[in-house]
């Protein structure tokens, strides 16, 4: 459960991790193929965001997201690839509504990721959540 600056309350659930995600989105055949650099792989994190409070908010939770490796190094999302994987644009989430978002990372093939980090306000521990990836 995360709480925003303006009274937002949200429940975030990591639904699926594709570690090595395909270049073409299997859920959206009309989506563009994501170009992949040699020696890199795509990691796609599928997140469900639900408004559990009484204040509407925009469900674009992917803005401040990182993968973390076992040494503690962080890797930010690839903005262009993340935008290309969305089935629909971010929308206002009214109380008790939910939306699915996908966050795409392009990382070197040999990096061992251990956590996914999402923050509503980077630098604020109460507005940042980590998920352990197995």
pLDDT digits (tens, 9 = 90+) for 30-58: 777 878 889 999 999 999 999 998 999 88
Q: What are the C-alpha distances in Å from 86 to residues 22, 97, 98?
A: 14, 18, 15
Q: Tokens for 37? A: 């650099």
Percent of the chain with pLDDT over 70: 100
Residue 87 pLDDT > 90: no
The structural domains of the chain, with segments of one domain joined by +, span 2-61+79-111
């Amino acid at each position: 459960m995360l709480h925003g600056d303006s009274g937002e309350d949200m429940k975030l659930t990591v639904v699926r991790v594709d570690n090595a995600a395909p270049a073409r989105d299997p859920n959206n055949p009309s989506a563009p193929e994501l170009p992949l650099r040699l020696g890199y792989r795509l990691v796609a994190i599928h997140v469900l965001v639900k408004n559990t409070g009484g204040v509407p908010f925009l469900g674009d939770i992917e803005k401040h997201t990182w993968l973390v490796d076992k040494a503690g190094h962080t890797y930010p999302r690839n903005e262009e690839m993340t935008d290309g994987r969305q089935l629909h644009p971010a929308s206002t989430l009214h109380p008790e509504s939910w939306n699915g978002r996908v966050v795409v990372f392009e990382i070197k093939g040999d990096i061992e990721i251990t956590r996914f980090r999402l923050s509503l306000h980077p630098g604020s521990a109460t507005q940042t959540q980590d998920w352990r990836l197995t």
